[in-house]
Structure 1
Amino acid sequence: MKTKLFLTLITVFSIAIQNTQAQINPDGFFNKKGEANIAVSYTFATYEKFYLGLDEVDAVPAHNQIDQNIYNVYANYGITDNLTVIANLPYIDSEGQGVADPVNGTTEQSNLQDVSLLVKWAPFVTQHKNGTTTFVVAVGGSYAFDYEPTGILSLGNGASSIDTKLGLQYNNNSGFFGNAFVGHSMRGEADNNLGLGDGAKFDVPNSVNAQIKLGYAGKSFYADAWFDAQKSNGSLDINSPNFAGNFPETKVSFSRVGLNLYAPITKTIGVSLGSGTVVSGRNIGKGTYYSGGLIIGLGK
């Protein structure tokens, strides 16, 4: 690359979506050994429509509209030149604009969501005449804090997870790049503190996910366009006959598109902007979010 960029724009992907977990989507850029980046960001998300199962409705049930203010801290560190560890922690303030949630009786929830940790490794880097191809293996997980997991307004599904991802990234010497990743998330159980459905715990379904990104990382700016998707394995829909308010057990699937921008201010400080929107889904809010962040580079 022509310049050292603080590629922490992954924070845009780590926002919360109703009844899903915050996840870290890796890329094929790696810190040098001993280098670290810290990013703080703010995201505003609004959901005016909702997918009841696969059926899109014009207002979020009960709440009409949900607004979220998301404050995020992200950090990465280069253990070696081809091994980077990533951590992410969002705090979410979520508010419904209608009546109280019919399941948990609230109109607002605020809490830390899920702290996530991911280690990505580049076992193979192939040199080409005009660039490089990097093969990436990533393993990580998340821990769910003590927020209320039941209801449309919930900050997440309340279950911890183990996540694995595989991907390829091609970096052209001109600065253009592209990557593709696939992954699997194995979910744990969530507390059934309201006694809904069957059992003392909720069985949160596992999921598969995928990401495609195209972008440019040059001397004076970074930009990318991305698509990502998730599909839950099994379980039930909100509008199914067996649904009894057990939101953590629902199938949550989605596809999203978005853009990220980054510009350095000094050698160690930069700013980022991002936006994304849900284009299709299942048992999830449909809306758009906007994000901005401050990024600080540390180390060599």
Structure 2
Amino acid sequence: MNYRYFSPIGAILLMSTVVTQAQSLSSGFMSGRKHGSVSISGTQEWYESVYLVPEKVDQVPIFRRINVRSVSLYANYGITDKIEAVLSLPYVRSEGNADPLVTQNSPYTNVREGLQDVSGLLKFKVYSTELGSSLLNLLGVASLSTPVSNYKSEQGLEYIIAIGNRATKVSTLGIAQLQTASGVFFTGQAGYSLRSGRVPNAFVAETKVGYAGPRFYVDGWAAFQQSASTGTDILQPGFDGDFTATRVDYTRLGVSVFRPLAQGFGLVLGASTYVSGRNVGKSTGVTGGLAYNF
């Protein structure tokens, strides 16, 4: 059976927040042996309100409004038809809007930036079967993420704008994707992430529906995270100023679009927003980039 679709997974760069990766680096597509892609994208995010406990607040403490800009490199490569490797590295600039009287002669600064965390994963196709005119694929993923620079994320309200939590993360995921002959697909994935230091472990999941065809790709997705109850809540009893120890939950909705241009190159566009959460900014983000598929 021939399934006519264009698989631009390497091109769909994933919007991220300062602290957590909001969308999975894994999709239900496989590039195939000796095929893959290289992408570069830029993302702009902003937020003023924050999902705290017991309720959302309308302004970020001290910094009032936060803007996050990032540039990400992404590459994936099919080692075999059933094994694929993925690598991602973002450079992040987080900028607050604290009053100059606050930042003058104090540890507070309105800007923190640097290389964040390098992420690598291996994806395995473990099962594939035809269901009528559709194809069902089951995949497994093992990933590792760790800081690559000496950026700081320590105790103190000045680290509200830290570019990451300096945790090493080891995660596993299971993915199921149903791909129809028309190019429409449905994907679901779920897994667990172990984090070092005081960062709570977390259950992560994502659902996605889209279309992958020879002329364009589009999807809509919802990403979820539920942190372990061992985490603390910002400015609540038990919170000692260490933001890495907070319990971060969220639901984020987004869309991604890829349009092939010429000779393997293509344009990447996307947008996303948080619709609920815990100890996380209610950010909205847009992204754009260029990908080369081979």
TM-score by length of 2: 0.92
Conserved 8 A contact 1:93-1:109:
yes
Q: 1:132 aligns with which of 131, 135, 142?
A: 135
Residue 2 (str. 1) matches residue 4 (str. 2): yes
Conserved 8 A contact 1:54-1:281:
no
* Mapping 1:124-163, distance limit 5 Å: 124-144=127-147, 145-150=149-154, 151-163=159-171
Residue 245 (str. 1) matches residue 241 (str. 2): yes
Measure how far apart 1:54 and its partner are: 4.2
The residue that corresponds to 1:120 in the other structure is 123
Quick one: which amino acid aligns to residue 173 of structure 2? K
The residue that corresponds to 1:193 in the other structure is none
Quick one: which amino acid aligns to residue 221 of structure 1? F
Aligned residues with identical type, % of pairs: 34
1:159/1:2 CA distance change after superposition, 3 Å: same
Residue 216 (str. 1) matches residue 216 (str. 2): no
The residue that corresponds to 1:75 in the other structure is 75
Question: Once structures 1 and 2 are overlaid, which stretch shifts more, 145-154 or 226-235?
Answer: 145-154
Measure how far apart 1:52 and its partner are: 2.2
Deviation string for 1:84-111 (max 9, x for gaps)? Answer: 1000000001100124589952211011
The residue that corresponds to 1:36 in the other structure is 36
Runs of 4+ in structure 1 off by over 6 angstroms are none
The residue that corresponds to 2:272 in the other structure is 276
Query: In 2, Cα distance between the equivalents of 1:155 and 1:111?
Result: 8
Quick one: which amino acid aligns to residue 246 of structure 1? D
The residue that corresponds to 1:229 in the other structure is 224
Query: In 2, Cα distance between the equivalents of 1:269 and 1:221?
Result: 12
The residue that corresponds to 1:111 in the other structure is 114
Quick one: which amino acid aligns to residue 55 of structure 1? E
1:117/1:104 CA distance change after superposition, 3 Å: farther
Conserved 8 A contact 2:8-2:217:
no
1:217/1:101 CA distance change after superposition, 3 Å: farther
Query: In 2, Cα distance between the equivalents of 1:259 and 1:8?
Result: 15
1:267/1:130 CA distance change after superposition, 3 Å: farther
Deviation string for 1:60-101 (max 9, x for gaps)? Answer: 111111001110000000000111100000000110012458
Aligned length in residues: 283
The residue that corresponds to 1:294 in the other structure is 290
Question: Once structures 1 and 2 are overlaid, which stretch shifts more, 109-118 or 144-153?
Answer: 144-153
The residue that corresponds to 2:17 in the other structure is 16
The residue that corresponds to 1:61 in the other structure is 61
Conserved 8 A contact 1:140-1:163:
yes
Query: In 2, Cα distance between the equivalents of 1:119 and 1:74?
Result: 14
RMSD: 1.8
User: In structure 2, the residue corresponding to 1:80 is in which secondary structure?
Assistant: coil
1:282/1:22 CA distance change after superposition, 3 Å: closer
Quick one: which amino acid aligns to residue 147 of structure 1? Y
Q: 1:186 aligns with which of 172, 194, 200?
A: 194
Quick one: which amino acid aligns to residue 109 of structure 1? R
Q: 1:164 aligns with which of 172, 186, 189?
A: 172
Query: In 1, Cα distance between the equivalents of 2:187 and 2:107?
Result: 41
User: In structure 1, the residue corresponding to 2:137 is in which secondary structure?
Assistant: strand
Name structure 1 gaps, 5 residues minimum. Answer: 190-202
Quick one: which amino acid aligns to residue 98 of structure 1? A
Measure how far apart 1:183 and its partner are: 1.1
The residue that corresponds to 2:96 in the other structure is 96
Quick one: which amino acid aligns to residue 13 of structure 2? T
1:9/1:229 CA distance change after superposition, 3 Å: farther
